[in-house]
A and B are shown apart, each in its own frame.
Chain A
Amino acid sequence: MSSITPHHFLILAFLLFGVGFLGVVIRRNVLLVLMSLELMLNGINVALVAFSRAGANLDGSIFVFFIMTVAAAEVSVGLALLVALYKKRKSIFTEDMNLLGN
């Protein structure tokens, strides 16, 4: 890579994180909120791997491995919670989950 610096990867990572954050904030569907969370974690992973490669240090790459593990566990638990919630409320939209809000 001649003219691509870690700076490029860092900007891309921030943009991925921002797009994911936008999805978490504006979407009403809990499924899409979970997907956007995955996108945020992916942005962080890109930044970590870029720094790991630029610094010639493997620790960042190994940390990405753990982030992937935790993300998989988080998604499975979140989807199970969503299914349980759907059985009670018959909806997966966040505005219907207002038991405490009124």
Chain B
Amino acid sequence: MSGPDLLFYFFATLSLGGGLLMVFSRHPVSAALFMIVSLVGVASLFVLLDAFFLAILQVLVYAGAVMVLFLFIIMLLDVGPGGAKASRLKFLSGVAGLISVGLLVILLLDLSLGAMEPSDCSADGCEDCSETSAFAWPEIREETAANGNSLVFSPSVKAFGFGLLAKYMLPLQVAGFLLLAAMVGVIILSRKSTGEEGG
């Protein structure tokens, strides 16, 4: 097992363990901190996948902005552990959680068995099976231009910006408008709730 493999398992454990501790932690503040651990683990996985810009974005947006917003709201609402009311699991929700996890395990087993077993091409002896058994990640090319209508994967921000501004111009504008609408909506929501509270 080489270095990048160990890194993958380390960061996968970090993100999954952070997520599990977040779900099962009692206090909201510790849950938010475990969530930050999980998000940083996911950002490291993005680095392993050569998506450096997305890793930076993940740390900046999620761990930097969203989780600070969560911590700010926790501070604002002054929520504690919640006592017995929050920690007691209802029977129905326990059953629902078990069913969801069970379905997930079945799905995973089905997926992994389907991907691991050699497909029908072993019968006619084609060379596809050797490729599926030893998967090779495609080489990173430094070209930023799109060939045809598909953009070639590249770790550079230049290629990302080119794709964003050339092929995905309209979605980018819509995303900006969505952020504006969310901002206006949040302002109106928080203003009205304080304004109507006295009346």
Which residues of A are at the interface with B, using a C-beta cutoff of 8 A? 1-12, 14-23, 25-29, 31-32, 34-36, 38-39, 42, 45-46, 49-50, 52-59, 61-62, 64-66, 68-77, 79-84, 86-88, 92-93, 95
On chain B, the number of residues with a Cβ less than 8 Å from chain A's Cβ atoms is 86
A-B CB pair tally, cutoff 8 Å = 239
Query: Please, which residue of chain B has its CB at the minimum distance from the CB of A18?
Result: B104
Complex Cα–Cα for A39 and B74 (A): 18
Which residues of B are at the interface with A, using a C-beta cutoff of 8 A? 1-2, 4-5, 8, 12, 15-16, 19-20, 22-23, 28, 31-32, 35, 38-39, 42, 45-46, 48-51, 53-54, 57-58, 61-62, 65-66, 69-70, 73-74, 76-77, 79, 82, 85-86, 89, 93-94, 96-97, 100-101, 104, 107-108, 111-112, 115, 135, 137-138, 141, 150-154, 159-160, 163-164, 167-168, 171, 175, 178-179, 181-183, 185-186, 189-190, 192-194, 197
Q: Are B45 and A58 in contact (CB under 8 A)?
A: no
Q: Are A12 and B179 in contact (CB under 8 A)?
A: no
Residue numbers in B under 8 Å from A39 (CB-CB): 19, 22-23, 35, 38
Given A26-B96, A34-B70, A80-B186: A2 and B168 within 8 A (CB)? no
Query: Please, which residue of chain B has its CB at the minimum distance from the CB of A61?
Result: B51
Q: Is the interface of A mostly helix, strand, loop or mixed?
A: helix
Residue numbers in A under 8 Å from B153 (CB-CB): 52-53, 55-58, 61
Q: Are A86 and B77 in contact (CB under 8 A)?
A: yes
Residue numbers in B under 8 Å from A68 (CB-CB): 57-58, 61-62
Q: Are B16 and A25 in contact (CB under 8 A)?
A: no
Q: Are A12 and B45 in contact (CB under 8 A)?
A: yes
Complex Cα–Cα for A14 and B112 (A): 11
Complex Cα–Cα for A82 and B171 (A): 28
Complex Cα–Cα for A68 and B62 (A): 8
Residue numbers in B under 8 Å from A5 (CB-CB): 135
